[in-house]
Amino acid sequence: MNKQEKIVTMFDDIAKTYDVANRVLSFGIDKSWRKEACNLTFEKYGQKEIESILDLACGTGDMCEFWDKIAHEENINIKKITGIDPSVGMLDEAKKKNLNADFIVGEAKDIPCKDNRTDILSISYGLRNVVDRKEGLREFYRVLKPGGLLVILEFTKLPKKSISAKIRDFYMKRVLPLVGGMLSKNYNAYNYLPNSIDDFLTTQKLTEELKEVGFEIETVKGNSMDISTLFIAKKVTV
């Protein structure tokens, strides 16, 4: 079993308790980060008729639900919302919610969608779990329409001496494994999650990788003392 398969298996194992653990561990603040991402993206895209939104590493469908909810609030018509995730366990939980979205098994490095058909592509707290990240970023670029927007919410690596890093490290490495492990009965999974942040990129490095693929950076915004970072990037064609 390779690294990507091990990550998928881990999420299968914690799928049934994932939503409860998420809400408890984030104190619900992740909802405000997701809502802001949707509002700002719709504002930047400026269209009232949207053909397709893809949410990758969709998990139990949180972001799909936010896209639909915010679109209704802003009188935006989305023809199709699709959630894609390699974890069958996570998708099973998403389907139980009866959301206005279709759910498909798939990976970021091989998105089951045609070229230049997607208006908005989002990935929330899942990019660091994509082993072939650069290949994934190229796939994001491929499926987006020219002028389409890529939306990333992620825990990027922080300078170790910053106050934000110290607060986040304490919570992620001491509190999260204990509470998440108790709720899910899978301590390994909640030890993996904080370690995956340490192994990830800084905000600057991820911005550079997006530019290398061909994206134009629209927004980079830290939330809650830079605990979470929002990236919005546009597909530009030469």
Cα→Cα distances 179→95, 175, 195, Å: 26, 6, 16
Q: What is the mean pLDDT of each run of 10 residues along the chain (238 residues)?
A: 87 88 75 95 97 97 97 97 97 96 95 96 94 95 98 85 76 76 81 79 93 97 85 90
Q: How far apart are CA 148 and CA 94, in angstroms?
A: 25
Domains of the chain: 3-235 (3.40.50.150)
CA angle 54-119-108, nearest 5°? Answer: 35
Task: Find tokens 């987006």 and name the residue.
Answer: 144
Q: How far apart are CA 215 and CA 217, in angstroms?
A: 6
CB 88 within 8 A of CB 61: no
Q: Residue 238 has what pLDDT?
A: 57
Q: How far apart are CA 82 and CA 120, in angstroms?
A: 11
* Cβ atoms within 10 Å of 165's Cβ, excluding its own: 17
Which residues have CB under 8 Å from 48's CB, separation 6+? 75, 76, 77
CB 235 within 8 A of CB 213: no
Q: Coil, strand, or helix at residue 218?
A: strand
Q: How far apart are CA 32 and CA 92, in angstroms?
A: 25
Q: Residue 185 has what pLDDT?
A: 83
* Cβ atoms within 10 Å of 22's Cβ, excluding its own: 18
Q: How far apart are CA 191 and CA 130, in angstroms?
A: 17
